[in-house]
Amino acid sequence: MHIEIDEISKEFGSTAALHPVSLAIPSGALVALLGPSGSGKTTLLRILGGLEFPTSGRVLFDGEDATALTVQQRRAGFVFQSYALFRHMTVFENIAYGLRARPRAQRPAAAEIARRVTKLLDLIQLPDIGARYPSQLSGGQRQRVALARALAIEPRMLLLDEPFGALDARVRKELRAGLREIHDTTGLTSVFVTHDQDEAMELADLVVVMSMGRIEQIGRPADIRARPATEFVKSFLSA
């Protein structure tokens, strides 16, 4: 799905988290929102997912105005920073949650839900953990379960907030490849937030560098490396 962000701004009280920013995300791309904390990248992601409403501006999904759509209507698969798995439910129940929450007419039968959950567990290469609770999983396993849960609702896009933030360096490297693979198999337009430039450069098709609520540069990783557009980008990349 093609996403267009048209002059979006966001104020919290009197502080501006986002100055009007515009950005076009081509269908099927894997995009990184890169910047230090406080740069507005998470706010922008939450606005895409419908968890925050912008102060002004529009969001367009496939050319249609989606600004007023509720979070449920957007059908964005969202992976939270600390994964926000439902701690009192098993992995199976976590992944099935979105399907079971559908209105009765659209809800798949129990057998169909089980089939889809099994398929997703295979996709994240953890076929045997359906009966476990989130507290019994490692950090990397939790991240993949969160990804499976987000994919279960057959989302129109995938939004990930610091998906590797809570993991140690070795697992991080492994899971980067895993995310790239899942993105390529599903073909979903995906946006992830990160403060780690290596992660952004290695993984993304398109990197959006942000600072202080503004977009500093949009480009392919190689182009940004070769031609940083502003002083900020230059100093951020050399850090």
Which residues sit at the interface with another protein, rule CB under 8 A? Answer: 49-51, 71-72, 74-78, 80-82, 84-88, 97-98, 101-102, 133-136, 149-150, 152-153
Please list, residue by residue across 23-47, b when 16 or more beta carbons sit within 10 angstroms of its beta carbon and e when fewer do.
bebeebbbbbbbbeeebbbbbbbbb
* Pairwise CA distance, residues 57 & 107, whole Å: 34
Angle formed by the axes of helices 169-186 and 139-152, nearest 10°: 20
* Pairwise CA distance, residues 218 & 209, whole Å: 6
Least separation in angstroms between CB 209 and another protein: 26
Looking at beta carbons only, is 49 or 221 nearer to another protein? 49
Least separation in angstroms between CB 46 and another protein: 9
Least separation in angstroms between CB 73 and another protein: 8
Q: What angle do CA 190, 180, 89 make, to 5 degrees?
A: 75
Least separation in angstroms between CB 232 and another protein: 30
Tell me the one-letter amino acid at 55: T
Query: Of 34, 32, 183, 89, whose CA–CA distance to 175 is shortest?
Result: 183
Looking at beta carbons only, is 106 or 238 nearer to another protein? 106
Least separation in angstroms between CB 9 and another protein: 20
81 C-beta neighbours (distance < 10 Å), count: 14
Looking at beta carbons only, is 29 or 166 nearer to another protein? 166
CA distances from 54 to 19, 69, 125 (A): 11, 12, 37
Looking at beta carbons only, is 80 or 118 nearer to another protein? 80
Looking at beta carbons only, is 37 or 106 nearer to another protein? 106
Least separation in angstroms between CB 56 and another protein: 21
Looking at beta carbons only, is 59 or 218 nearer to another protein? 59
Looking up tokens 């007419």, which residue turns up?
105
